Homo-oligomer: A and B are copies of this chain.
Amino acid sequence: MRVELINTGTELVLGDTVNTNAAWLGQRLAGLGLAVARQTVVPDGAVIAEVLAEAAARADIVVVTGGLGPTNDDITREVTAQLLGLELQESAAVMEHLDAYFRQRGRTVNAATRRQAMVPEGGVVLPNRQGTAPGLYLAAGLGTGRAADCHFFLLPGPPRELKPMMEQEVEPLLCRLVPAAGTRVVRYLKTTGLGESDLVDRIQADLEARADQGLELGYCLGRGDVDVRLAGPAEVVEEAAEWVRQRLGPLVFSEDRRVLEEVVVDLLRERGQWVATAESCTGGLIACRITDVSGASAVLGRGWVTYSNEAKTAELGVPADLISLHGAVSAEVVQAMAEGARQMADADHGLAVTGIAGPTGGTEEKPVGTVFVGLASRGEPVCSAKLFFPGARDRFKLLTSQAALDMLRRRLLGVSLNEI
């Protein structure tokens, strides 16, 4: 099965938006054993007709993103119907969804939005739970011409609409089209704590030797994580996964694609424990990540952003002389912050960070990128680690939050904080 991907959007060719959809869809399709043979990006407007016809002439499956919205240059729906010689008909079900969507927001459906209810005859509507524009599936056999041999999936451009639609609607349909997709297995082992090249050094050679058994190996870089992707026949993949588990130990934090904050919240909930956060350089990112997880209110009651020294003293009870003696960015202060947060919130764990995000504020002894992470847990000695994440401010914040969450994860699992 030859798959092509088309992304429409003027913002993509102008570079105003990075095309993360292409990467995400590429991964999902690869997971089903469908490697994208060609990906094409064009601006909004008439040119979509040209690339759609070309892709349909080469491919068995064409996935299109974008151009389903309410504006005049959103014409993916119309152009696909035209290519196949199909009439567009208003779908009562989609109109109902649109009506409900707008009613909930105290508005009514306008003419531009109403176009989103038009469906090429024989097309299958893919519900959009996050927005207005439904997706469409046009199975091979609909319409006329060479393009009628092709399966079309038309998906909305916004990632938060596209992703659930792909996972919940498109992938089950693809599994029926690609029977081999069922016997093939893909496993992701999410790791944190080692950079990509160190990770590769540790596992690559052994896993590559399994290529003749059909094992495909890949890595994806996430938000401070590296995922090891293993694909191929089920037995080979399971055996390789077990080897990776042994080799990497506690570096592997998730095998079901849960991100680190989900793993931490789940561990806390299982134990009925609470955490409080005290953040300087991350400015709330750790609490924000924890509260990204539904149900976080059962594990986090309060947190502090103590950016200034006064805040560390007033809110967390960090002695002012401790700060003047060791500096705000020090093991002593991060430990006092962690213990202070834990006690103030009467929580089981206090998690704290203090560091120099930059670009200013570094010294020779403590350059930009220096950070201390501290953890105080009820009945355990307070501990801390000094880390160094030079680079851009947002990356620094992300990696620091990742290290802090991982410290808490290891404590909750009872594994060493240092074992890598």
B-contacting residues of A (Cβ < 8 Å)? Answer: 10-20, 22-30, 35-44, 47, 51, 69-72, 104-105, 110, 112-113, 130, 158, 160, 196-197, 200-201, 204, 218-221, 227, 229, 277, 279, 281-288, 290-292, 294-297, 300-308, 310-311, 314-315, 345, 357-360, 388, 390-395, 397
Q: Are A23 and B17 interface neighbours, CB within 8 A? A: yes
The minimal Cβ–Cβ distance linking A342 to chain B, given in whole angstroms, is 14
The secondary structure that dominates the A interface is mixed
Q: Are A397 and B292 interface neighbours, CB within 8 A? A: yes
Residues of B within 8 A of A18 (CB): 18-20, 22-23
Contact of A38 with B41 at beta-carbon distance under 8 Å, contacts A15-B22, A15-B23, A283-B296 already known = yes
Q: Are A26 and B39 interface neighbours, CB within 8 A? A: no
The minimal Cβ–Cβ distance linking A216 to chain B, given in whole angstroms, is 9
Q: Are B14 and A36 interface neighbours, CB within 8 A? A: yes
Q: Are A37 and B26 interface neighbours, CB within 8 A? A: no
A200 and B44 CA atoms in complex are apart in Å by 15
Q: Are B302 and A308 interface neighbours, CB within 8 A? A: yes
The minimal Cβ–Cβ distance linking A30 to chain B, given in whole angstroms, is 5
Q: Are B307 and A301 interface neighbours, CB within 8 A? A: yes
A70 and B357 CA atoms in complex are apart in Å by 27
Q: Are B301 and A303 interface neighbours, CB within 8 A? A: no
Residues of B within 8 A of A314 (CB): 302
Q: Are A311 and B12 interface neighbours, CB within 8 A? A: no
Could you pull out 8 A-B pairs where Cβ atoms are within 8 angstroms? A12-B26, A16-B27, A37-B42, A38-B40, A282-B291, A283-B288, A292-B394, A301-B310
Most chain B CB inside 10 Å of its own CB: which residue of A12, A38, A288, A315 = A288
Q: Are A302 and B315 interface neighbours, CB within 8 A? A: yes
A229 and B22 CA atoms in complex are apart in Å by 23
- Not counting A15-B26, A16-B27, A302-B308, a sample of 20 additional A-B residue pairs whose C-beta atoms are within 8 angstroms of each other reads A11-B218, A12-B39, A13-B38, A16-B220, A16-B227, A18-B19, A36-B41, A38-B40, A39-B41, A71-B197, A71-B200, A104-B390, A110-B201, A283-B284, A285-B288, A294-B358, A300-B307, A302-B304, A302-B310, A302-B315
